[in-house]
Structure 1
Amino acid sequence: MEFRHLGRSGLIISEIAYGNWLTHGSQVEEEAALSCVRAALDAGITTYDTADVYAETRAEAVLGRALKGERREGLEIFTKVFWPTGPGRNDRGLGRKHIMESIDGSLRRLQTDYVDLYQAHRYDPSTPLEETMVAFADVVRSGKALYIGVSEWTAQQIREAHTLAQELRVPLVSSQPQYSMLWRVIEAEVVPTCEELGLGQIVWSPIAQGVLTGKYTPGTPPPAGSRATDSKGGATMVSRFLGDDVLERVQRLKPLADQAGLSLAQLAVAWVLQNPNVSAAIIGASRPEQVGENVKAAGVKLEPELLSAIDAVLDPVVERDPARTAEGSPKTRP
């Protein structure tokens, strides 16, 4: 495993992080989830990402049980707040009440006294940003989180939050966006802004919900049991990448991966790690062997000629519009 600083902060994290968005507490049984975390630990992964909303809070609880007994100082545990976790009007969003209650719930489920990074899972248009940032600052000053970050915020939202964070003297250090060879919407605005301000990217879905593994092929139905057939496992999100034009071009990446001595999945994870503003790529797994396969992307350097060849293959189907970040966030509190 290789390690990187999270932005310009002093926190060092594994460049491949383990996330349990669509698996723990929902898609796989707990024993399999525990085996996947054990495989991640054995592979040298020290950074674990989750959220209170995943599997209706069950994912945090599973991760807490999986990491119990590990040396806490040797781990970096990240979680998030924003999406609804209960029926009440205040069981959602980034208002002070929800943030202060949610951090306590997350710590209880994770069986830890603090998280290393507490992230705003989306921007809350219904709450003044000042209220949100003061609440996050109080979470940090209470010792319940060491750093704060955001997920799927626009460049302008990040800049405004950073200004308040500086005034409050609270460490805003990261952005967690979707990023892959097919989804590059952060490159035009979010990445330059974060480079300027000192935030690092912790990217999710580096293999485009599995499409960049090559398992989906043009002209054929998705394999049974795959994410594209699971309405609770991200089928809606993966559908954007299932056009035959995209799938045909993904298949054309196979000779390039072979040339680099990598699987398609390893190539995809290694590709996002070539971006110097990326501090970590989040991988998920439903089987332990998937962890071992994907961590082989750590430390891989892709030559400029290979990167150019990848661009030549994928360029017509790559999504680059920075406006897609704002489109993916709710316009009102969910």
Structure 2
Amino acid sequence: MLNKRMNITPEYSTCRVINGGWQLSEGHALQNTIDTAPVLKAFHQLVEQGFNTFDCADIYTGVEELIGQFILERKKSIGRDDTQVHTKFVPDLSILGEIDFNYVERIIVRSLKRLNKERLDLVQFHWWDYNVNGCLDIAGHLVRLKEKGLIANLGTTNFDTKHLKELVKAGYPLVSNQTQYSVLDRRPEKEMVDFCQTNNVKLLCYGSLAGGFLSERWIDQAKPSSLENRSLVKYQLVIEDSLGWDGYQKLLKLMKEIGLKRGCSLSNVATMYVLNKPAVAAAIIGTRSERHILSNQQIFKAELLPEDYKAIDKLINQYPIIDGEPFELERLEGGKHRNIMKMNLNEE
């Protein structure tokens, strides 16, 4: 069975299932707003069950503040902060070439205030456009803030292997890279996994449930014509570029069959598949309500056998891996993967 925690560094460990925050941002839902009361209730229950690592970002509108509210509630109820928060530093595309140290420090201090933290556990750096100079300089500014004690650990999010190598060569103390990785999107297996294993960098994986597409509710369903949130829009594109709808349906049925044999859900199987991969420290799973908690617990109670992984691989290896490196298509100007993203959300 899988361990519930894994060390990213000798001094710092993370839950292997991280509570995701993108789906809680104000711009995520396409049709309705989110009621925060059940979310906060679920947060308390998750932490009490040992799932105390949260993922968010400076650009997830309202999410740092929501987690900060939860942290205040924890401090009041138990007298201390028992959470870990992984946030991001994502400077807007429109100002990439204009950023200086003061800007970086201001955004990091803002995250500290929003989260009611004295130090950020992990800051994951993102750079929208590699053609704009300054990426390594900004990474250096983050290192200075780490040295000042504002940040405990530094990682990246959505970097490709080439630019991870450049950061490491420049001396950036990289402990993790957050990347999209699932049974549907295996781009990290091209180069990134090997690089991370060689350089002691851990992968924190989002999209392992494809925004909810990797669940029983989609079995035998026709391809939808409209979708309720940006996650589903995003991951329908992933399905189109990997297995296609027919192959995706075959995969759902196979993983449901495996789950029935092992005493877990289809979604658990999808998560366990990713967690079993080399260099992977954690999967980031969105949580809106307490119904997700029992499902998360089952990931660490059930066990997949080698034959289960082989059966999944046999099926998905019949289909192409999505083109390019992780997040390469998402950077392609005018491309369908890029068009659903918002790249200027860091206004104060």
Classify the TM-score, shorter chain: 0.7 to 0.9
Report the alpha carbon displacement of residue 9 of structure 1 after superposing the two structures with TM.
Answer: 4.3
Q: Which AA in structure 2 matches 1:106? A: S
Query: Is 1:236 equivalent to 2:272 in the alignment?
Result: no
Secondary structure at the residue paired with 2:314? helix
Within the candidate set 14, 35, 50, 2:41 is matched to 35
Q: Normalising by structure 2, report the TM-score.
A: 0.83
Report the alpha carbon displacement of residue 286 of structure 1 after superposing the two structures with TM.
Answer: 2.1
For 2:230 and 2:10, how far apart are their aligned partners in 1?
Answer: 34
1:113 matched residue in structure 2: 118
Greater shift in the superposed pair: 206-215 or 24-33: 24-33
Report the alpha carbon displacement of residue 323 of structure 1 after superposing the two structures with TM.
Answer: 2.9
- Report 1:67-106 matches (<5 A): 67-70=71-74, 74-84=82-92, 89-90=94-95, 96-106=101-111
C-alpha spacing 1:258/1:95, structure 2 compared with 1 (3 Å): farther
C-alpha spacing 1:96/1:327, structure 2 compared with 1 (3 Å): farther
Contact preservation (8 Å) 2:52, 2:83:
yes
2:308 matched residue in structure 1: 306
For 2:195 and 2:118, how far apart are their aligned partners in 1?
Answer: 32
Q: Which AA in structure 2 matches 1:18? A: N
Q: Which AA in structure 1 matches 2:107? A: S
Greater shift in the superposed pair: 143-152 or 286-295: 286-295
Q: Which AA in structure 2 matches 1:234? A: S
C-alpha spacing 1:92/1:229, structure 2 compared with 1 (3 Å): farther
1:17 matched residue in structure 2: 18
Within the candidate set 66, 86, 91, 1:62 is matched to 66
2:263 matched residue in structure 1: 261
Report the alpha carbon displacement of residue 77 of structure 1 after superposing the two structures with TM.
Answer: 1.1
Contact preservation (8 Å) 2:69, 2:115:
yes
Secondary structure at the residue paired with 1:195? helix
1:199 matched residue in structure 2: 201
Contact preservation (8 Å) 1:50, 1:60:
yes
C-alpha spacing 1:9/1:326, structure 2 compared with 1 (3 Å): farther
Q: Which AA in structure 1 matches 2:188? A: I
For 1:264 and 1:77, how far apart are their aligned partners in 2?
Answer: 28
The CA deviation string for residues 83-136 of structure 1, in whole angstroms up to 9 with x for no partner, is 539xxx548996544422211111111111111101113454223233112111
Contact preservation (8 Å) 2:112, 2:118:
yes
Secondary structure at the residue paired with 2:281? strand
Report the alpha carbon displacement of residue 264 of structure 1 after superposing the two structures with TM.
Answer: 0.4
Q: Which AA in structure 1 matches 2:196? A: C
1:215 matched residue in structure 2: 217
2:55 matched residue in structure 1: 49
Secondary structure at the residue paired with 1:238? helix
Report the alpha carbon displacement of residue 204 of structure 1 after superposing the two structures with TM.
Answer: 0.7
Contact preservation (8 Å) 2:19, 2:285:
yes
Contact preservation (8 Å) 2:88, 2:123:
yes
Secondary structure at the residue paired with 1:215? helix
Report the alpha carbon displacement of residue 24 of structure 1 after superposing the two structures with TM.
Answer: 4.9
Q: May I ask how many residue pairs the two structures share in their alignment?
A: 319
Instruction: State the Cα RMSD in Å.
Output: 2.7
Q: Normalising by structure 1, report the TM-score.
A: 0.86
Secondary structure at the residue paired with 1:302? coil
Structure 2 spans left out of the alignment, 5+ residues? none
Query: Is 1:135 equivalent to 2:137 in the alignment?
Result: no
Within the candidate set 172, 175, 188, 2:174 is matched to 172
For 1:10 and 1:278, how far apart are their aligned partners in 2?
Answer: 18
The CA deviation string for residues 295-334 of structure 1, in whole angstroms up to 9 with x for no partner, is 3213654221110011123333463544353222367986
For 1:95 and 1:272, how far apart are their aligned partners in 2?
Answer: 37
C-alpha spacing 1:198/1:299, structure 2 compared with 1 (3 Å): farther
Q: Which AA in structure 2 matches 1:115? A: L
Contact preservation (8 Å) 1:47, 1:75:
yes
Structure 1 spans left out of the alignment, 5+ residues? none
Contact preservation (8 Å) 1:83, 1:93:
no
Query: Is 1:150 equivalent to 2:156 in the alignment?
Result: yes
